[in-house]
Amino acid sequence: MKPFLFVSDLDDTLVYRTVGDDNALPELNQLLSQHRQEYGTKIVYSTGRSPVLYKQLQAQKNILQPDALVLSVGTEIYLDGTDTPDSGWSEILSPGWQRETVLSITQKYRELVRQPDSEQRPFKVSFFLQQEVSARVIPQLEAELQKKYKLNVKLIYSSGIDLDIVPHSSDKGQAMQFLRRKWKFAAEQTVVCGDSGNDIALFAVGNERGIIVGNARKELLQWHNEYPFDYHYLAKSFCAGGIIEGLNYFGLL
Ligand code: GLC
Ligand code: MG
């Protein structure tokens, strides 16, 4: 057996956010930690959550201590349990990132409702935006930020409600590849898992193995239908159960 790089979203991928039980989670935890111990497999959690909301989840659910933590939709990387974001990654995100300008432009949009302060991060500005108006507002806002003001930003919409604005060089996919190169894992020995819009970057960035859990949201399923690849597996089971199914499918365990 060879080591692999395991990168998973948390909410509604590794664990249930609201409804559903985490029955398969202890088995997945056991399989992963054993693989880490025996073969040097690395475990990474990659989430939209800030440090504050990550700590909340950690207190509620039985999750492992990861080798690296990617928070705030890929804009912060924490290695080996430290509390300070990796400066090598921040340096990649800094050039051209104008947080204040983004904030003042977005203020004009009545449809954008600011997320709680804890979710506003150095490289991430986040709003709630209702699904019904998103198809109209997002292209308009994107054109204003990128074309009119020439800002190097990316808009990421997830779960029919969350809108994140981040540096163009950042997302979960870029952060994953940063770690993959750092630890020298081949794409074939890397597996990413997700359920929603902010996970599309994990699947779209390269040819890493991908597990889409059975309970995935519409936006990710639509993307998968449009861009089907044989190295992406759509699981039948939900959450951790779907991940176990996918790891077996790829012969990684
Ligand atoms: C998490 C974060 C939120 C973000 C969302 C989607 O829920 O707390 O700020 O918008 O993920 O990335
Ligand atoms: Mg999720």
Q: Are residues 27 and 125 in the same domain?
A: no
Q: Is 158 in the pocket of ligand 1 (CB under 6 A)?
A: yes
Cα 74 to ligand 2 centroid, rounded to whole Å? 13
Q: Are residues 44 and 103 in the same domain?
A: no
The pLDDT assigned to 80 comes to 85
For the segment 82-105, the average pLDDT, to the nearest whole number, is 97
> For 101-144, what is each residue's pLDDT tens digit?
999 999 999 999 999 999 999 999 999 999 999 999 999 999 99
The pLDDT assigned to 240 comes to 97
119, 166, 202, 217: residue to mutate for ligand 1 pocket, most atoms within 8 A of CB: 119
Residue type present at position 201: A
229/211 Cα distance (integer angstroms): 11
Q: Are residues 53 and 71 in the same domain?
A: yes
- Phi and psi at 210, nearest 5°, equal -130, 135
* 91 within some domain: no
Q: What is the CATH number of the domain that holds 24?
A: 3.40.50.1000
Cα 224 to ligand 1 centroid, rounded to whole Å? 21
Q: Are residues 63 and 103 in the same domain?
A: no
The pLDDT assigned to 111 comes to 98
Q: Are residues 133 and 101 in the same domain?
A: yes
The pLDDT assigned to 87 comes to 97
Cα 71 to ligand 1 centroid, rounded to whole Å? 9
For the segment 12-40, the average pLDDT, to the nearest whole number, is 94
- Which ligand has the nearest atom to the CA of 118? 1
12, 134, 154, 164: residue to mutate for ligand 1 pocket, most atoms within 8 A of CB: 164
* 40 within some domain: yes
Cβ(198)–Cβ(7) under 8 Å? no
The pLDDT assigned to 131 comes to 97
Decide which of 167, 191, 208 is a domain's last residue: 167
Q: Are residues 75 and 110 in the same domain?
A: no
Number of domains comprising the chain: 2
Q: Are residues 136 and 175 in the same domain?
A: no
Decide which of 149, 167, 185 is a domain's last residue: 167
Cα 135 to ligand 2 centroid, rounded to whole Å? 21
- Mode of pairing for the β-strands spanning 42-46 and 76-79: unpaired
Contacts of 35 (CB under 8 A, 6+ apart): 1, 3, 4, 41, 253
Q: Whose CA is nearest to atom 9 of ligand 1?
A: 119
**Over the chain, what is the mean pLDDT?**
97
Whether residue 147 has pLDDT greater than 90: yes
Q: Are residues 229 and 114 in the same domain?
A: no
The pLDDT assigned to 18 comes to 76
Decide which of 167, 189, 218 is a domain's last residue: 167
Q: Is 164 in the pocket of ligand 1 (CB under 6 A)?
A: yes
Cα 236 to ligand 1 centroid, rounded to whole Å? 25
The pLDDT assigned to 20 comes to 74
* 90 within some domain: no
How far from each other are the two terminal CA atoms of the chain, in whole angstroms?
Answer: 7
Cβ(223)–Cβ(207) under 8 Å? no
Q: Are residues 22 and 72 in the same domain?
A: yes
> For 157-207, what is each residue's pLDDT tens digit?
999 999 999 999 999 999 999 999 999 999 999 999 999 999 999 999 999
Cα 12 to ligand 2 centroid, rounded to whole Å? 5
Q: Are residues 9 and 81 in the same domain?
A: yes
Q: Whose CA is nearest to atom 6 of ligand 1?
A: 48
Tally of CB atoms within 10 A around 40? 12
Q: Are residues 194 and 80 in the same domain?
A: yes
The pLDDT assigned to 98 comes to 97
DSSP string, 94-139: -TT--HHHHHHHHTT-TT-EEPPGGG-BTTBEEEE--HHHHHHHHH
Cα 123 to ligand 2 centroid, rounded to whole Å? 20
* 79 within some domain: yes
* 39 within some domain: yes
Q: What is the CATH number of the domain that holds 121?
A: 3.90.1070.10
Cβ(27)–Cβ(240) under 8 Å? yes
The pLDDT assigned to 237 comes to 95
Cβ(69)–Cβ(78) under 8 Å? yes
Q: Whose CA is nearest to atom 11 of ligand 1?
A: 48
The pLDDT assigned to 21 comes to 83
Q: Is 75 in the pocket of ligand 1 (CB under 6 A)?
A: no
Q: Whose CA is nearest to atom 8 of ligand 1?
A: 49
Contacts of 219 (CB under 8 A, 6+ apart): 157, 158, 159, 160, 196, 197, 200
102/153 Cα distance (integer angstroms): 9
The pLDDT assigned to 229 comes to 97
Q: Are residues 161 and 175 in the same domain?
A: no
Domain residues for the domain of 35 are 5-85+170-249
> For 221-248, what is each residue's pLDDT tens digit?
999 999 999 999 999 999 999 999 999 9
